[in-house]
Amino acid sequence: MNAPEAVYETSLKGLALKTRGKVRDIYEIDDSLMLIVTTDRISAFDVVLSDPIPGKGRVLTALSNFWFDRLRGAVQNHLCPAIRLDHIVSDESERAQLRGRAIVVKKLRPLPIEAIVRGYLAGSAWKEYQTSGIVCGIKLPAHLPQAGKLPETLFTPSTKADIGDHDRSISIEQTAALIGKDLGEQIRAVSLELYARAADYARQRGIIIADTKFEFGLDQAGALYWIDEALTPDSSRFWPADQYRTGISPPSFDKQFVRDYLESLRWNKRPPAPRLPAAVIAKTAEKYREAERRLTG
Ligand SMILES: Nc1ncnc2c1ncn2[C@@H]1O[C@H](COP(=O)(O)OP(=O)(O)OP(=O)(O)O)[C@@H](O)[C@H]1O
Ligand SMILES: [Mg+2]
Q: How far apart are CA 70 and CA 197, in angstroms?
A: 9
Domain 16-109 fold: Phosphorylase Kinase; domain 1 (3.30.200)
Q: How far is CA 144 from CA 17, 134, 150, 245, 247, in A?
A: 47, 11, 8, 13, 9
Side chain identity, residue 275: R
Q: Which ligand has the nearest atom to the CA of 38?
A: 1
Q: In this predicted model, what pLDDT tens digit does every residue of 196-246 receive, in sequence order?
A: 999 999 999 999 999 999 999 999 999 999 999 999 999 999 999 999 999
| pLDDT tens, the chain, 297 aa long | 445 689 999 999 999 999 999 999 999 999 999 999 999 999 999 899 999 999 999 999 999 999 999 999 999 999 999 999 999 999 999 999 999 999 999 999 999 999 999 999 999 999 999 999 999 889 999 999 999 999 999 999 999 876 555 678 899 899 999 999 999 999 999 999 999 999 999 999 999 999 999 999 999 999 999 999 999 999 999 999 999 999 999 999 988 889 999 999 999 999 999 999 999 999 999 999 999 999 999
Cis preceding-peptide flag for 240 (omega within 30 of 0): no
Q: In this predicted model, what pLDDT tens digit does every residue of 145-179 receive, in sequence order?
A: 999 999 999 999 999 876 555 678 899 899 999 99
pTM: 0.95
Pocket of ligand 1 (CB under 6 A): 21-24, 26, 43, 78, 105-108, 110, 215, 217, 227-228
For 76, other C-beta atoms within 10 Å of its C-beta total 14
CB of 53 closer than 8 Å to CB of 40 = yes
Top mutation candidate among 38, 80, 227, 229 for ligand 1, by most atoms within 8 Å of CB? 227
**Centre of ligand 2 from the C-alpha of residue 144, in Å:** 31
Q: Which 3 state secondary structure label does DSSP give 49?
A: coil
Q: Which 3 state secondary structure label does DSSP give 156?
A: coil
Q: How far apart are CA 148 and CA 162, in angstroms?
A: 31
Tell me the CATH number of domain 110-268, given options 3.30.470.20, 1.10.760.10, 3.30.70.3270, 2.40.10.10.
3.30.470.20
Q: How far apart are the first and last CA of the chain?
A: 21
**Centre of ligand 1 from the C-alpha of residue 287, in Å:** 23
Side chain identity, residue 238: F
Residue ranges of domains in the chain: 16-109, 110-268
Residue minimizing CA distance to atom 27 of ligand 1: 22
Sheet holding 17-20, edge to edge: 17-20, 24-28, 33-38, 102-106
Q: 27 - beta bridge partners? A: 17, 35
Q: Give me the pLDDT at residue 174, please.
A: 94
Q: How far apart are CA 156 and CA 48, in angstroms?
A: 25
Q: How far apart are CA 184 and CA 174, in angstroms?
A: 10
Q: Give me the pLDDT at residue 162, please.
A: 60
> Largest Cα–Cα distance in the chain?
60
Name the residue among 107, 117, 116, 115 with its Cα closest to residue 179: 115
Q: How far apart are CA 29 and CA 33, in angstroms?
A: 5
Q: Which ligand has the nearest atom to the CA of 29?
A: 1
Q: Do 16-109 and 110-268 agree at the fold level?
A: no
H helices present in the chain, as ranges: 56-70, 85-88, 92-98, 123-132, 172-179, 181-204, 256-263, 278-296
CB of 157 closer than 8 Å to CB of 216 = no
Give the ligand 1 atom nearest the CA of 107: 3
Name the residue among 127, 189, 120, 119 with its Cα closest to residue 153: 119
**Centre of ligand 1 from the C-alpha of residue 37, in Å:** 11
